[in-house]
Amino acid sequence: MKRFVTLLIVLVSLNAKAQEKFTINGYVKDAANGEALIGATVLVKEINGGNITNVYGFYSITVPPGDYTVEYRYIGFLSQTMQISLNENQRIDIELSEESTQLQEIVVTAEPEDENVSSVEMSVANLDIKTISKIPSFLGEVDVVKSLQLLPGVSTVGEGASGFNVRGGSVGQNLVLLDEAPVYNSSHMLGFFSVFNPDAVKDVKLYKGGIPARFGGRLSSVLDIRMKEGNNKEMEINGGVGTIFSRLAIEGPIKKEKASFIIAGRRSYIDVLARPFTDVFDNGAALYFYDLTMKANYNISDKDRVFISGYFGRDVFNFDDRQGINWGSKTATFRWNHLFSERLFSNLTFYLSDYDYELAFGENDRDKFEWTSNITTYDIKPEFTFFMNTKNELTFGAEALLYRFSPADALGASDGDLVEFSIPHKRAAEYGLYVGNEQRVSDKLTLQYGTRLSGFKHLGPGSYYTFNDTIPGYRRQAVDVQEADDWETIKSYVNLEPRFSAKYSLSKTSSVKASFNRTAQYIHLVSNTTASNPLDIWTPSTNNIKPQTGLQWAAGYFRNFNDNAYEFSVETYYRRTKNQIDYIDGAELFINELIEGDVLAGDGRAYGLELYAKKNEGRINGWVSYTLGRSELKIDGINFLDDLENRSGNWYPARYDQLHNFKATGFYELSNRVSLSANFTYLTGTPTTFPTHRYQIEYLTIPENSANTRNNLRIPDYHRLDLSVTILGRAISKRGRVRKNRDSWVITFYNLYNRKNPFSIYFWQGDERYAIDAVAETRATQVSILGAIVPSFTYNFKF
C-alpha cells in the first residue's frame, strides 16, 4: 500500500507540473464552534465547477493559473466569496457564520439548495440534527433512527422492535456506523430508543442504494453517523431533562482552535423516580440504560489531524440482585487525517467494536445459570481521496477486519454440581479493496463508478462440520467433524462488488439519476423472532453458511420548484438477493453448536416506488413520503404448499413486507417562540402465519397450518399521529440583553388519538387448565406494544 501511495504522489506531482495547474484546498468550518461543515459547496465561478467538502470538511480544486472568484456556500450559513489570483498552490481554510436566528428557524435542511437535484447521489436519506430535534418523538426523546423512518423506503415492524428496515431488507442487513465503527445493536430498551445521543451527533446519512465503493459488508443499506468534534472556540454545555431520561453534553477547546473534545452522557431514571412509590426495586431489581459518547481531536499541523472517539452504552434489566439481563455496545475509533499533497487527502481509521449480552438466573450459587454472548471486531482502514482535477475525484482504499464470535459462554449449577456448556468461539477475517471515481463528464452528466473487491475467511481454531443432505426444512445432521489449527483457513469467499451511479441534468431544477450496485454480506444476524431483539446473535459465513449477496437497480427523477422552495423526487428500485437466511421449523438458535444444521438459505426480491415531496420554506414546512413496496423470500423448506415430496419453496412476503408506507411530517411556527410539529404514519399491517387447524396430544391443543404456507395473512394496518409543542425560552433578557443561555420546553403527545396499534396476533388455548382429553377453547389475541397515548415533557438547555 505504501508503495502505491508513493507512486500516486509522484504521479500527482508530475501531473501538476505537466499541465501547469495549481490547487486551492482547505477546510470549511462553522465560525461559531469550529465544527467541520460536511457537504459545503465550494464553487469556482469562472469554470462553473468546484467541489463539495468531505466528511472532514476538506475540499481541493485544481485549476490552471488565473484570477478566480471562489464562493463558499452552506445552507443556513452566510455565503462567502473570495477573489483569488492563483499562481501557486493555496491553502484557504474558511469559516462560515450562521444566518440570523429568525432565518435559521425556517430552514429544515442542511444541504445546499439544489443538492438533491445536482448531486450524483441518489437513494440517500439525509437529515440534519436540527430537523431531527424538531420531530415529535416517543417520550420526547430526540431519536436519530426513528426520524429516518419518516423518509421513503425506511420502516420498522413496530414499537419495541430493534433496528429498522430499508427497502425491504432485514434489520441485520443494515450497516450502522458511528464514526466508522459498526454498531451491532442500535437500540436501547429493546427498540424504544436508539443509542445515538443527539447532542453528540453532527451528521446522519442513510444510503439506501447507490452505495459508494468505500462501504461494504451489508446488503441493503449504510447508516453513516458522524459525531461532533466538539466546540474548539468556547465551552458549551447542552442538556435536557426528560420524562424517561436526562442528557448532558459538555464540549469545548482543549487548545483553542487546535484541539477540542465532547463528552455526552444519558441515563434513564424510571427506576430512580419509581423507587419511593414501589418496593419493586428494593431487592436489587433494576430497569435502566445509560450511554456515554466521547470524542477528541487535535490539529497536529496543517497536514495532520487526529480524532479519537468512543461510545459505551448498556441496558440493564434485573429482576433482583442475582438475576437479570443486560446488554450493550462499545466502540472506539482512532482516525488520522493526513494530506500527502494538496490533492491527496487520506484518512487512516482503526476501530474496535464490541456487542455483548449477559443473562443470569438462579436463586443462589448452588442453582444458577449464567450465559454471556458477544461479538468483537477490529478493523484497520486506510482511505484516500485524490482530487485529480475539476472533473474527477478518485477514491481508493482498503480495509481489513478481524471478528471474534462467542455465541454462548454458559455455566449452570444444579444443587451445587457445576456444568459448563459453551459454544466454541469462531474467528473470521474480512477484507476489502476498493477504487471509485466521481467524474463530471459534462455540465449535465456526472458519473460515479467503482468497484469493491471483498473477501472473507472463516478461520481456525475450532471444529467444523459437514452436514448431510435432507429434504429441505428438516434438521441436517452433522456427519463429519474436522479440527482446524490456529489461523487455518476453513473456508474463504471472494466477491467483486461493482457500483455505479449516474446523474443527468435535464435543467437547472431537474435531473434523472440511475444506479446499480452489488453488495456482499459475510456475517449474519440470526433471528427467528417476530421482531429483532437484543438477544439475536451474529454468526459468520462458514463452510455451511454462504455469504449473502445482493444486486440493486434504482432510477429516479428529481425536481425542485419555486427557487428550491419545494423539492420533489420519485425513485424506483429493484433488488435481488441470494443466500437469504431462514430457519427450519423448530430451529434451535441459542446455545447450539450445530446451528448450521438448522439454517436454510434461499432467494429474496424487493421492489418498490418511493415518492417524496418537501416544502423547505415558510411558516409551515415539512414533507410527505410514500413508499409502495414488496419484499419477498423464496426458500426451499418454507412455504412449500402441497409439494410434500421436494418441499420446494414458493415466494412469500417477508415479515417486514409493508405494501404501503406513508409518512407526513409538518412544522408550523405559531410565533417566534412557539412552534408545533406533527407527524403521521400509516403502514400496511405486517404479514404473519395463521393456523388453519388444531389437534391434541394429551391435554395440549396444537395449531397446524395444513396448507404449509408462511405469512399467509396480515395483522391490521398501523397508523399513528404524534404532536409536539416547542416553546423557546426568551432570547433577550428583561434588561434587553441577548441571553447567552438558551432553553426550551417540549411537550409531546405520542400516539395522539390513542390507537391500539397491533404488533402481532397470536393463537392459544387461553389460561384455563384442562383435564387430559378435554377439548380446549382456542382464541386469537392481538398485542399492542403501546396501547395508549403517551404524553411527555422535556426541558432542554444550552449554555
Partner 1 sequence: MKNLFKIVLLSSIIACEQDITTGLPESAPLIAFDAWIYHAAEPQTIDIYTTNTYFDSSEPAGITGATVVVSNVNDALETYTFSEAAAGQYVWNPTTPTDTFATVGGVYALNIQINGTTYESLTELSAVPSIDSIYWRFDEADAFIEDSYFANFWSRDLEGSGDTYWIKSWKNGELLSLPSEINIAYDAAFSEDGDADGLFFIQPIRELINPFDFDDEDVLINPFELGDSIYVELNSISQEAFFFLQQVQVQTARDGGFGELFAVPLANIQSNIFPVNSNEKVVGFFNISAISSLGKLFTEEDIRIID
Residues between 728 and 767 that touch partner 1 (CB under 8 A) = 756, 759-765, 767
Q: Is the peptide bond before 691 cis (omega within 30 degrees of 0)?
A: no
Q: Which is nearer to partner 1, 139 or 375 (CB)?
A: 139
CB of 588 to partner 1, least distance (A): 7
Q: Which is nearer to partner 1, 225 or 599 (CB)?
A: 599
For the segment 254-293, give every residue that binds partner 1 (CB under 8 A): 278-280, 282-283, 285, 287
Alpha helices by DSSP H, 134-230: 144-148
In whole angstroms, what is the distance from residue 495 CA to residue 487 CA? 21
For the segment 336-375, give every residue that binds partner 1 (CB under 8 A): 361-364, 366-367, 369
Q: Which is nearer to partner 1, 88 or 645 (CB)?
A: 645
Site string for partner 1, 631-650 (x = CB under 8 A): -------------xx-----
In whole angstroms, what is the distance from residue 124 CA to residue 221 CA? 10
Site string for partner 1, 541-580 (x = CB under 8 A): ----------------------------------------
Out of 269, 312, 319, 626, the residue judged to bind partner 1 by CB under 8 A? 319
CB of 246 to partner 1, least distance (A): 20
Would you tell me how many other CB atoms lie within 10 Å of the CB of residue 727? 14
For the segment 57-96, give every residue that binds partner 1 (CB under 8 A): none
User: Does 672 sit near partner 1 (CB under 8 A)?
Assistant: no
Out of 99, 234, 358, 593, the residue judged to bind partner 1 by CB under 8 A? 593
CB 551 within 8 A of CB 576: yes
Out of 82, 787, 793, 799, the residue judged to bind partner 1 by CB under 8 A? 787
Out of 312, 334, 566, 690, the residue judged to bind partner 1 by CB under 8 A? 690
User: Does 139 sit near partner 1 (CB under 8 A)?
Assistant: no
CB 227 within 8 A of CB 198: no
Q: Which is nearer to partner 1, 20 or 767 (CB)?
A: 767
Alpha helices by DSSP H, 251-357: 270-274
Q: Which is nearer to partner 1, 246 or 530 (CB)?
A: 530
Residues 6+ apart with CB under 8 A from 798: 236, 237, 238, 239, 741, 742, 743
Q: Which is nearer to partner 1, 67 or 365 (CB)?
A: 365
CB of 503 to partner 1, least distance (A): 42
Q: Which is nearer to partner 1, 269 or 690 (CB)?
A: 690
CB 180 within 8 A of CB 335: yes
Binding span for partner 1 by CB under 8 A among 32-40, 482-490, 502-510, 786-794: 786-794
> How would you list the strands of the sheet with 49-52, edge to edge?
49-52, 41-44, 66-73, 80-86
Q: How many residues bind partner 1 (CB under 8 A)?
A: 100
For the segment 402-441, give every residue that binds partner 1 (CB under 8 A): 412, 414-415, 417, 419-421, 423
Q: Which is nearer to partner 1, 304 or 585 (CB)?
A: 585
CB of 124 to partner 1, least distance (A): 31
Q: Which is nearer to partner 1, 491 or 714 (CB)?
A: 714
Would you tell me how many other CB atoms lie within 10 Å of the CB of residue 697? 7
CB of 776 to partner 1, least distance (A): 7
3-state secondary structure of 646: coil
- Strands 94-96 and 90-91 come out as unpaired
For the segment 694-733, give every residue that binds partner 1 (CB under 8 A): 694-713
Binding span for partner 1 by CB under 8 A among 240-248, 261-269, 386-394, 689-697: 689-697
Cα dist from 280 to 82, 105, 283, 314, 319, whole Å: 66, 45, 7, 21, 9
Reading phi first (left if > 0) and then psi (alpha if -120 to 50, else beta), residue 372 is in beta
Alpha helices by DSSP H, 20-128: 101-105, 115-118
Q: Which is nearer to partner 1, 367 or 603 (CB)?
A: 367
| Closest by Cα among 210, 226, 249 to 178 | 226
Out of 89, 323, 389, 437, the residue judged to bind partner 1 by CB under 8 A? 323
For the segment 477-536, give every residue that binds partner 1 (CB under 8 A): 528-531, 533, 535
For the segment 441-460, give every residue that binds partner 1 (CB under 8 A): none
Q: Is the peptide bond before 461 cis (omega within 30 degrees of 0)?
A: yes
Residues 6+ apart with CB under 8 A from 681: 149, 150, 662, 663, 718, 719, 720, 721
CB of 603 to partner 1, least distance (A): 19
User: Does 591 sit near partner 1 (CB under 8 A)?
Assistant: yes
CB of 325 to partner 1, least distance (A): 9
- Strands 259-268 and 700-704 come out as unpaired
For the segment 185-224, give every residue that binds partner 1 (CB under 8 A): 190-191
Cα 651 to its chain centre, rounded Å, is 28
Q: Which is nearer to partner 1, 362 or 455 (CB)?
A: 362
CB 432 within 8 A of CB 546: no
In whole angstroms, what is the distance from residue 657 CA to residue 421 CA? 38
User: At which residue does the C-alpha cell 446519512 appear?
Assistant: 205
For the segment 17-56, give every residue that binds partner 1 (CB under 8 A): none
- Residue 283: HSE in the Cβ half-sphere, 13 Å Cα cutoff: 7
| Closest by Cα among 137, 129, 136, 95 to 109 | 129
Q: Which is nearer to partner 1, 319 or 668 (CB)?
A: 319
Q: DSSP character for 738?
A: B
